[in-house]
């Protein structure tokens, strides 16, 4: 049982909770995930099973798509509805909403929230936040927003406004911060009210399984070569197999491009991942795939 499994994470489960549940259902300890989702968020979680954990690093840089619901009129310390309210304002009639949302398309400089797992001087930011310590100089980072649009009507309720939007962006986006920044640009305190991840690279929520389905055995693993189908593929014959098993470099003449390449045997089993040697005209085995198990 080696591969990638797509899970539709339910609310009130942390990503690590899902890993623990799958370890029980699939009877293996070797399970890891890409792209953490907060407990209050739902949607697509990509997990590696057994040897699938070895390729997680190649799946974690993909673009992600989210459906978010924003609450305009109050902000919280966590930037989502789980936190304590720290500011409020009466909202009656929002203007230029679509223009403001569209303004975030392109390169968007974002400061990660204090309640996040980003490390600062050796500690997670949420560790400081839980002690009431504010870090004034959290490093900002550039996120590329490929597409963003409002996908619902604006609903006014109890002096607040709610609407949903879809965003497709590069790795590292904190939607909680994006929702806060949208509200700020509209002139109001705000927070992220609901969050649902729908895509992670080529993987889609439509192809995922609930925990109940997985418990009943109603699921299918994605094979390692299929999960890495965007990489160049080289099929190695049996007489070269010992080279791969021992992590030996391979001449570039066996490769069409000097790029990250997956090596498979004639039965399409993933044996290794190779990259161009930085100083020699060879492809070099990288990471833990330099020896197959």
Domains of the chain by residue range: 3-59+202-224, 64-200, 231-290
Please tell me the pTM assigned to this model. Answer: 0.87
State residue 117's pLDDT score. Answer: 64
State residue 120's pLDDT score. Answer: 65
Q: Among residues 17, 38, 267, 275, which one is catalytic? A: 38
Flag residues of the chain having pLDDT under 50.
Answer: 288-293
State residue 268's pLDDT score. Answer: 87
SS (H, E, C) the chain: CCEEEEEEECCCCCHHHHHHHHHHHHCCCCEEEECCCCCCCEEEEEEEEHHHHHHHHHCCCCCEEEEEEEEECEEECCCECCCCEEEECCCCCCCCHHHHHHCCCEEEEECCCCCCCCEECCEEHHHHHHCCCCCCCCCCEEEEEEEEEECCCCEEECCEEEEEEEEEECCCCCHHHHHHHHHHHHCCCEEEEEEEEEEECCEEHHHCECHHHHHCCCCCCECHHHHCCCCEEEECCHHHHHHHHCCCCEEHHHCCCCCCEEEECCCCCEEEEEEECCCCCEEEECHHHHCCC
Percent of the chain topping pLDDT 90:
56
Would the CATH topology of 3-59+202-224 be identical to that of 64-200? yes
Q: What is the CATH number of domain 3-59+202-224?
A: 3.30.2350.10
State residue 292's pLDDT score. Answer: 41
Query: Is domain 231-290 in CATH 2.30.130.10, yes or no?
Result: yes
State residue 172's pLDDT score. Answer: 86
Summarised one tens digit per residue, pLDDT across range 169-210 is 998 899 999 999 999 999 999 999 999 999 999 999 999 999
Catalytic residue at 80? no
State residue 157's pLDDT score. Answer: 96
State residue 249's pLDDT score. Answer: 75
State residue 111's pLDDT score. Answer: 80
- CATH superfamily, domain 64-200, is Pseudouridine synthase (3.30.2350.10)
């Amino acid at each position: 049982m080696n591969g990638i499994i797509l899970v539709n994470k339910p609310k009130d489960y942390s990503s690590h909770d899902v890993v623990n549940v799958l370890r029980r259902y699939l009877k293996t300890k070797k399970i890891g995930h890409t792209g953490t989702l907060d407990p209050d968020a739902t949607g697509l979680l990509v997990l590696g099973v057994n040897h699938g954990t070895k390729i997680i690093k190649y799946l974690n840089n993909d673009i992600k798509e989210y459906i978010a619901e924003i609450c305009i009129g109050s902000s919280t310390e966590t930037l989502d509805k789980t936190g304590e309210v720290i500011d409020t304002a009466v909202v009656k009639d929002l203007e230029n909403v679509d223009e403001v949302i569209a303004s975030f398309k392109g390169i968007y400089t974002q400061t990660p929230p204090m309640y996040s797992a980003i490390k600062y001087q050796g500690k997670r930011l949420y560790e400081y936040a839980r002690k009431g310590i504010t870090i004034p100089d959290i490093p900002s980072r550039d996120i590329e927003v490929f597409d963003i649009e409002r996908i619902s009507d604006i609903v006014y309720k109890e002096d607040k406004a709610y609407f949903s939007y879809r965003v497709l962006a590069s790795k590292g986006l904190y939607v909680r911060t994006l929702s806060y920044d949208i509200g700020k640009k509209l002139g109001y305190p705000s927070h992220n009210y609901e969050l649902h991840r729908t895509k992670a690279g080529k993987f889609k929520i439509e192809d995922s399984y609930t925990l109940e389905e997985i418990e009943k055995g109603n699921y299918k693993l994605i094979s390692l070569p299929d999960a890495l189908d965007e990489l160049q593929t080289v099929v190695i014959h049996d007489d070269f197999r010992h080279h791969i098993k021992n992590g030996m470099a391979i001449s570039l003449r066996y490769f069409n491009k000097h790029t990250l390449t997956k090596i498979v045997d004639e039965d399409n089993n993933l044996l290794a991942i190779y990259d161009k040697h930085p100083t020699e005209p060879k492809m070099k085995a990288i990471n833990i795939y330099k020896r197959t198990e």
